[in-house]
Amino acid sequence: MPKTLAITDFLQAPGIILDVRSPAEYTQGHLPGAVSFPLFSDEERAQVGTCYKQRGREAAVELGLTLVGPKLAHFVQQAKAFTRDCTIRMHCWRGGMRSSSMAWLLETAGFEVVLLEHGYKGFRRWVRQVLAEQKPVISLGGMTGTGKTAVLYALADAGEQILDLEKLANHRGSSYGGLGLPPQPSTEQFENLVAMAWSQLSSKCPVWVEAESRMVGTCRVPNELFEQMRTAPILQIERSQTERIEYLLQEYGRADRAQLIRATERLHKRLGGDRTKAAINSIQQGNLAPAIAIVLDYYDKTYQHDLQRRGGRLTRSLLRVYRHRRSPKNC
């Protein structure tokens, strides 16, 4: 009988994590670092589910065995390719038949397997609990092009705790934010990634985070965290428009023009027809600075509105925030 571990112990245990749920379930959300190792394909899972509803559990189990039987040797070979020490962590949706069956097979083949208590469903409960943990947040605010991410990592280099939501979301948070980056995770997977990062941060020291809106591209910032960000003090970073345009030229100057144009077209309703046309013409001519200036005017107004709506406490003094939030006795 495989050993079952609670989520905290499971995450700290050795061995690769195999997720035996279907590929679609895995894509929707999974433990960070877990490898998809499906017992059933999406189509097979649908067949078994339909059989269960129409003919009952016994018939569904028989169908499952019929589908899985020819693949048993392949599962063992695939597992051997993933690990050299034969140590495996494994889970399914609720810690039921799928993970238990696969664990039995792999243990029979000589692997050491531990299962996740309550499966991925239990992990998702843990995610909600972790995200609700209160930590002393400080937000880095500033209009587009002020280099908030660079400041965030300068703080990290100085030994401060940071949470980079844009990195976890694969998006810089504007219509242009996905250019040159991998596809975004689902919001569920984004929550999983944020929870894992949040769980590693101390509640005794400040956590620096960019003052994001509720959406980072298509990823929604978890409500529990967003409420902490909304009420946190905001350190405002300020740069001249000339500096901001130069910064954005460095950031997007080598981006594909067609992608830049599509991103600008997405702002058509907000920029208006004339300004959208002028910005696109500048991009087509390879003269990005005027286009950036046009777009910045829109984003500046949006930022000011969002700042007022969120009611964040604004300060321009790094020293003031730092002394207010950090105590040498606690950090």
Q: Which residues are catalytic?
A: 92
If 0-12 CB within 10 Å is exposed, 13-18 middle and 19+ buried, where does residue 39 land?
A: buried
Q: What is the distance, to the nearest Å, from the Cα of residue 146 to the centroid of all Cα atoms in its chain?
A: 23
Nearest Cα to Cα of residue 241 among 144, 320, 120, 310: 144
Helix (H) or strand (E) holding 116: strand 112-116
Q: Report the alpha-carbon distance of residue 176 to residue 263 in Å, rounded.
A: 6
- Copy the structure tokens of residue 41: 């394909």
Rg value, the chain, Cα? 25
Give the phi and the psi of residue 213 in degrees, each rounded to 5: -80, 180
Question: Distance between the two ends of the chain, CA-based, in angstroms?
Answer: 44
Report the half-sphere exposure of 284 (CA within 13 A, side-chain side): 8
Q: Look up residue 239 and give its amino acid.
A: R
Adjacent-strand bridge partners of 236: 141
Residue 8, classified by CB atoms within 10 Å of its CB into exposed (0-12), middle (13-18) or buried (19+), is exposed
Which DSSP string corresponds to 257-310? HHHHHHHHHTTHHHH-HHHHHHHHHHHHTT-HHHHHHHHHHHHHHHHHHHHHHH
